[in-house]
């Protein structure tokens, strides 16, 4: 009787299990339908109802794991999906979904393992192939990611997600044309693919196709108005176009949606630096590093913050940390710029960095094959100026007088403008060019094509290793003769650059063998137009009863060494004051930091006056408050030195170890003030103290300086331009002679 009862119970249990299974199948169908419609609370309840009755129900466990993940409960989702795999170890979908949870947890190595298992279970599983590609992309393995995307696309040629993600991987490898092709193909199959539209916008920014970028990002935001990524990249676009307010608004909107989004934090830091809000820039960098302690972008931007505060050693330290993670040519170029501000960086160190940059980029861009041209040494030469400074920029003041006085009968002038900002200065440059090209919307290859089509004979780089430069165009050698000068003529390191325009003080004979370029001497490395609207002023010390020193220069040129020497001078010259003027002194953090550095050297705070931004006319009139200008070092002033001299205010200069630390001495000596140029710190202080005690001499010099400038070859812009043109003609004659011997030309 007992055994027959047990059999009956077993029979009843089997019937019950069969009934529960049948009920569970109906419930799971309802749960799946609810999940598909985004009703996650209902899905959760139905799955738990099934699991209470049938604890090993795979579909309920799997679906509950997906549902819990949607609710952001990632640890619970991981446990449920691991349980699902235990129930059915051969479920390729469960393995792939568990990998997705590990990606959410930023556990990429674990995700990779589960994705590889999913693919092993189902080799033609396109979703897992694409997901593994995404994981490899997160792990900074874009080449391997592309292999996975290509496998998925081979199985499904219209797979828009895989095509889009392949574009992102190609973008990471700077393969811009291939990235654009991938995004375009994704959009061919799925025109409203928001990610592909953002990708197309991103690659268009990098190609400098800004109108196309704006259209793509607008389309993406029309589909997904709250896409933080699309907003951040539109902010990038506005930043490139110097539309800072719009950029800031987009970065803020993106960060409100996604507070840790790297591209938005990067943009926030950049726009803050541009606006002179260093504290806000540092905060954005700090947030980036909290999210990713190995963020090369964050370290690079933090280095810019330190540089803006004049802390160059710290700036280079952070940049070196970024280079250790990403040995990128752009970062090497940034280091080249920073080294010009470091006292210990002599010609050898500076030129070694430039050589390193050239070696990093030279293999990428093969030199162009040039079409034959008429090798007549006396014909009209086509001169092309490539500049990001055809607007109200310090370098523009050195270039404008040369363009104004060019002999257009002997030289055709083509200007390639590489910066979107246009102002009254831009209009002046346009009026002086025979041909004007808005090159800021041309990629490097497109600009090289245009230069070749214009048959430029001598191509001039104005920007050097500064923001907006197009040195990678010069690396392609689109013109037979290439020259760097006017803006940042410290040498480029390019083996394709033939000459650098300088002078014997700026680049002395002893250092010339270190440069990639041959040095051609001008009367001075730069000139500037006569400043005629600056009325003569009385020597301030005669009415004040004390000496006022002035530093009207970029504050990040103010080194600790300079502050130490200035402080020694001010202690020696009893009762003296100092006025420091620069736009960034509108930033309270930078202003307080600068004053604190002077106070730490024993200078009373009340003897330091900081002036911020002002219109140029007011800026020039402020020199009437100064008795003697003190040049910054190791990075000297350029146009600011000329402005001071035109105001009748002599400048104390010091010759340093590298080109950028010899610019002030070059200009001051060029107008006959050799006795104002020192060889070392002690000599610099001695000059300042000596002349501070000679008011009669200073008063006479104040009245005489404008005429002295006008009579010098460096200050007489017509003579200066003739010397520039004589150099161009000699370059062309030498080229014609060499090319004729080599059988080139027409």
- State the DSSP string of 601-621: TT--GGGEEEE----HHHHHH
Q: Give the domain extent around 595.
A: 540-714
The answer to whether the CB of 526 falls within 8 A of the CB of 714 is no
Asked whether residue 643 is domain-assigned, the answer is yes
- The pair of structure tokens assigned to 236 is 């990038």
- 703 and 576 together in one domain: yes
Q: What is the pLDDT of residue 2?
A: 47
Confidence label for 24 from pLDDT (cuts 50, 70 and 90): confident
Pairwise pLDDT comparison (210 vs 7), residue with the higher score: 210
Pairwise pLDDT comparison (385 vs 328), residue with the higher score: 385
Average pLDDT over residues 556-576: 95
Asked whether residue 5 is domain-assigned, the answer is no
SS3 438: strand
CA angle (220, 225, 229) in 5-degree steps: 65
- 629 and 566 together in one domain: yes
CB atoms within 10 A of CB 245: 10
Calculated CA dihedral for residues 145, 148, 150, 154, nearest 10 degrees: -170
* Count of domains forming the chain: 3
- 512 and 588 together in one domain: no
Which of 368, 413, 439, 342 has its CA nearest to residue 661?
Answer: 342
Q: What is the pLDDT of residue 746?
A: 45
Residue ending a domain, among 331, 361, 391, is: 361
Average pLDDT over residues 147-156: 96
Which of 50, 83, 53 has its CA nearest to residue 66?
Answer: 83
Asked whether residue 646 is domain-assigned, the answer is yes
Residue 186 has pLDDT above 50, yes or no: yes
- 410 and 319 together in one domain: no
Q: What is the pLDDT of residue 665?
A: 97
Q: What is the pLDDT of residue 370?
A: 92
Residue 292 has pLDDT above 90, yes or no: no
528: Cα separation from own chain's centroid: 28
Which of 518, 486, 440, 474 has its CA nearest to residue 358?
Answer: 474
Residue 636 has pLDDT above 80, yes or no: yes
Asked whether residue 655 is domain-assigned, the answer is yes
Q: What is the pLDDT of residue 287?
A: 92
- 466 and 557 together in one domain: no
Q: Please state which of the ranges 164-168, 188-192, 428-432, 464-468 shows the lowest mean pLDDT.
A: 464-468
> In this structure, what are the phi and psi dihedrals at residue 488, rounded to the nearest 5 degrees?
-150, 60
Residue 310 has pLDDT above 60, yes or no: yes
- 508 and 554 together in one domain: no
Confidence label for 53 from pLDDT (cuts 50, 70 and 90): confident
- pLDDT, tens digit (0-9, with 9 covering 90-100), for 538-562: 999 999 999 999 999 988 899 999 9
Asked whether residue 223 is domain-assigned, the answer is no
- HEC states along 61-129? HHHHHHHHHHCCCHHHHHHHHHHHHHHCCCCHHHHHHHHHHHHHCCCHHHHHHHHHHHHHHCCCCHHHH
- 554 and 621 together in one domain: yes
Residue 1 has pLDDT above 50, yes or no: no
CATH number at residue 637: 3.40.50.2000
- 486 and 622 together in one domain: no
- pLDDT, tens digit (0-9, with 9 covering 90-100), for 669-705: 999 999 999 999 999 999 999 999 999 999 999 999 9
Q: What is the pLDDT of residue 533?
A: 79
- 695 and 626 together in one domain: yes
Which of 374, 310, 257 has its CA nearest to residue 634?
Answer: 310
Confidence label for 382 from pLDDT (cuts 50, 70 and 90): very high
Stated pTM of the model: 0.83
Q: What is the pLDDT of residue 744?
A: 55
SS3 384: strand
Average pLDDT over residues 269-297: 90
Q: What is the pLDDT of residue 20?
A: 64
The answer to whether the CB of 199 falls within 8 A of the CB of 179 is yes
Helical axes 176-189 vs 160-172, angle rounded to 10° = 170
The DSSP line for 140-204 is T-HHHHHHHHHHHHHH-TT-HHHHHHHHHHHHHTT-HHHHHHHHHHHHHH-TT-HHHHHHHHHHH
Alpha carbon distance 425, 394 (integer Å) = 11
Residue ending a domain, among 326, 361, 396, is: 361
Q: What is the pLDDT of residue 135?
A: 95
- 436 and 488 together in one domain: yes
Average pLDDT over residues 458-475: 95
Which conformational region is residue 373 in: left (phi greater than 0), alpha (psi within -120 to 50 degrees), or beta? beta
- The pair of structure tokens assigned to 146 is 């592309």
Residue 7 has pLDDT above 70, yes or no: no
Residue 371 has pLDDT above 80, yes or no: yes
> In this structure, what are the phi and psi dihedrals at residue 709, rounded to the nearest 5 degrees?
-65, -45
- pLDDT, tens digit (0-9, with 9 covering 90-100), for 384-427: 999 999 999 989 999 999 999 999 999 999 999 999 999 999 99
Q: Bridge-partner residues for 608, per DSSP? A: 578
Asked whether residue 682 is domain-assigned, the answer is yes
- 626 and 482 together in one domain: no
Asked whether residue 193 is domain-assigned, the answer is no
Asked whether residue 469 is domain-assigned, the answer is yes
CATH number at residue 463: 3.40.50.11380
Alpha carbon distance 307, 310 (integer Å) = 5
Average pLDDT over residues 244-272: 95
Residue 532 has pLDDT above 90, yes or no: no
Residue ending a domain, among 521, 555, 573, is: 521
Alpha carbon distance 36, 52 (integer Å) = 23
Tell me the pLDDT of the chain averaged across its residues. Answer: 93
- 564 and 696 together in one domain: yes
The answer to whether the CB of 171 falls within 8 A of the CB of 158 is no
Q: What is the pLDDT of residue 16?
A: 46
Eight-state DSSP code of residue 213: H
Alpha carbon distance 376, 457 (integer Å) = 12
Percent pLDDT > 90 in the chain is: 84
The answer to whether the CB of 227 falls within 8 A of the CB of 220 is yes
- The pair of structure tokens assigned to 43 is 């899905």
Q: What is the pLDDT of residue 503?
A: 96
CATH number at residue 331: 1.25.40.10
């Amino acid at each position: 009787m007992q055994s027959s009862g047990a059999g009956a119970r077993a029979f009843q249990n089997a019937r019950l299990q069969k009934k529960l299974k049948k009920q569970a199948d109906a419930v799971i169908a309802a749960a799946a339908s609810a999940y598909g419609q985004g009703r996650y609370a209902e899905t959760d309840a139905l799955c738990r109802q099934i699991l209470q009755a049938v604890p090993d129900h795979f579909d309920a466990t799997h679906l509950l794991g997906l549902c819990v993940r949607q609710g952001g409960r990632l640890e619970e989702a991981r446990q449920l999906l691991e349980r699902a795999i235990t129930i059915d170890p051969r479920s390729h979908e469960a393995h792939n979904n568990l990998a997705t949870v590990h990606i959410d947890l930023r556990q990429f190595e674990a995700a990779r393992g589960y994705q590889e298992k999913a693919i092993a279970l189902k080799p033609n599983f396109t979703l897992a192939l694409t997901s593994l590609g995404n994981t490899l992309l997160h792990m900074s393995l874009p080449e391997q990611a592309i292999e996975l995307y290509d496998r998925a696309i081979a199985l499904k040629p219209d797979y828009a997600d895989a095509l889009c993600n392949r574009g992102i991987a190609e973008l990471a490898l700077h393969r811009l044309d291939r990235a654009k092709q991938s995004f375009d193909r994704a959009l061919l199959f799925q025109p409203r693919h928001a990610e592909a539209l953002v990708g197309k916008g991103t690659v268009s920014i990098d190609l400098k196709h800004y109108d196309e970028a704006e259209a793509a990002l607008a389309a993406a935001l029309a589909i997904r108005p709250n896409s933080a990524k699309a907003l951040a990249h539109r902010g990038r676009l506005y930043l490139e176009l110097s539309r800072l307010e719009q950029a800031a608004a987009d970065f803020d909107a993106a960060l409100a949606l996604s507070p840790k989004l790297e591209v938005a934090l990067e943009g926030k830091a950049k726009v803050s630096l541009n606006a002179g809000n260093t504290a806000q820039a540092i905060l954005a960098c700090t947030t980036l590093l909290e999210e990713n302690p190995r963020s090369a972008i964050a370290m690079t931007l933090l280095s810019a913050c330190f540089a803006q505060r004049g802390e160059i050693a710290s700036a280079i330290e952070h940049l070196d940390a970024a280079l250790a993670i990403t040995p990128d040519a752009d970062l090497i170029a940034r280091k080249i710029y920073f080294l010009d501000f470091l006292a210990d960086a002599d010609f050898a160190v500076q030129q070694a960095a430039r050589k390193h940059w050239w070696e990093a980029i030279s293999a990428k861009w093969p030199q162009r094959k040039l079409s034959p041209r008429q090798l007549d040494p006396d014909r009209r030469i086509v001169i092309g100026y490539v500049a990001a400074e055809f607007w109200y920029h310090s370098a523009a003041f050195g270039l404008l007088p040369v363009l104004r006085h060019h002999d257009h009968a002997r030289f055709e002038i083509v200007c390639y403008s590489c910066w979107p900002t246009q102002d009254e200065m831009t209009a002046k440059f346009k009026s002086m060019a025979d041909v004007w090209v808005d090159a800021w919307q041309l990629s490097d290859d497109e600009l090289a094509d245009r230069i070749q089509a214009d048959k430029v004979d001598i191509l001039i780089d104005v920007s050097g290793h500064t923001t907006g430069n197009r040195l990678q165009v010069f690396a392609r050698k689109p013109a037979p003769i290439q020259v760097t000068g006017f803006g940042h003529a410290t040498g480029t390191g390019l083996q394709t650059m033939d000459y650098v325009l300088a002078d014997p003080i700026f680049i002395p004979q002893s250092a010339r063998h270190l440069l990639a370029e041959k040095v051609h001497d001008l009367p001075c490395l730069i000139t500037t137009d006569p400043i005629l609207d600056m009325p003569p002023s009385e020597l301030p010390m005669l009415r004040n009863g004390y000496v006022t020193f002035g530093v009207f220069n970029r504050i990040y040129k103010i080194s600790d060494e300079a502050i130490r020497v200035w402080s020694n001078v001010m202690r020696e010259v009893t009762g003296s004051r100092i006025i420091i003027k620069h736009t960034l002194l509108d930033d309270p953090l930078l202003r307080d930091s600068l004053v604190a550095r002077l106070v730490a050297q024993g200078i009373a705070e009340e003897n330091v006056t900081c002036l911020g931004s002002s219109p140029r006319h007011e800026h020039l009139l402020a020199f009437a408050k100064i008795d003697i200008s003190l040049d910054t070092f190791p990075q000297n002033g350029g146009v600011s030195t000329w402005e001071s001299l035109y105001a009748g205010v002599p400048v104390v200069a010091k010759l340093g170890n590298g080109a950028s630390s010899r610019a002030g001495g070059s200009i001051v000596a060029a107008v006959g003030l050799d006795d104002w140029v020192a060889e070392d710190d002690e000599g610099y202080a001695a000059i300042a103290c000596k002349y501070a005690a000679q008011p009669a001499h200073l008063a006479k010099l104040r009245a005489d300086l404008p005429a002295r400038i006008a009579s010098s070859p460096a200050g007489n812009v017509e003579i200066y331009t003739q010397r520039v043109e004589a150099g161009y003609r000699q370059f062309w004659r030498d080229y014609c002679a060499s090319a004729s011997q080599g059988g080139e030309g027409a």
